[in-house]
Amino acid sequence: MPRDDWLVGRDRRSEATERIYTAAADLISRKGYEGFTIEALAARVHCSPATIYRHAGGKTAIRDAVVAIQAARIVDATREVIKDLRGPERVVTATILALQRLRSDPLAQLMQSIHANPVSEWVISSPTVTALAAEMLGPDNDDPLAAQWLIRVFLALWFWPVKDPAAERALIQRFLGSTG
């Protein structure tokens, strides 16, 4: 069982993993996923590549974790705003807020520039992202296909945004608003 470390104030393994993921997100946003290497990450966090593999896994596992952390941050920020909303208003508001947050994130902007990348494939098949999308649909909607549909619509709006925010809102209200 992990114990708090006197030097870092909490579990040392958790601290190391968090540092690795934070540095990985920064490196990926600067160099792109293809330019990201375990060796560069190890140099950035001042450890050996073996330590990276031991704490966080390989390149794919780190990418998956960084994307999951980013998705969870967006959902957490959106969750507070939509907590009292239900039905179509919940879906529309969640989609618009999450798109705004995603579009303003440097790492997400880099991933958006590569439409058919491993990250978008992972997003579509990720049980974590599906669960987050289901949460955005609301407690009254337990259809797993609706969550998958929302993910694909969200990716489409992210990759190919409507230039006019009012037109995008109208599009979301008309077509996503009926799924709530």
Please count the helices (runs of H) and the strands (runs of E) in the chain. 10, 0
| CA 142 from centroid of its chain's CA atoms | 21
pLDDT of amino acid 2: 58
At 34 the three-state DSSP class reads helix
The average confidence (pLDDT) of the chain is: 83
More confident residue, 142 or 118: 142
Residue 6 has pLDDT above 70, yes or no: no
Residues 66-80 have a mean pLDDT of 85
User: Which tokens is 101 given?
Assistant: 């947050």
Q: Are 180 and 88 in contact (CB under 8 A)?
A: yes
| Spatial distance between the Cα atoms of 22 and 45, rounded to a whole number of angstroms | 10
What contacts 49, CB < 8 A, 6 or more positions away? 38, 39, 42
In this structure, of 27-31, 118-122, 134-138, the range with the lowest mean pLDDT score is 118-122
Fold of 1-57: Arc Repressor Mutant, subunit A (1.10.10)
Sequence ranges of the domains in the chain: 1-57, 63-176
Confidence of residue 113 (pLDDT cuts 50, 70, 90): low
| Spatial distance between the Cα atoms of 146 and 161, rounded to a whole number of angstroms | 21
Q: Are 179 and 137 in contact (CB under 8 A)?
A: yes
Residue 108 has pLDDT above 80, yes or no: no
Task: Give DSSP secondary structure letters for 98-155.
Answer: HHHHHHT-HHHHHHHTSTTSHHHHHHHH-HHHHHHHHHHH-TT---HHHHHHHHHHHH
**CA 100 vs CA 10, 18, 39, 97, 105: distances in Å:** 34, 25, 33, 5, 9
State the first-to-last Cα distance of the chain, in angstroms, to the nearest integer. Answer: 42
Report percent pLDDT > 70 for the chain.
Answer: 86
Residue 58 has pLDDT above 70, yes or no: yes
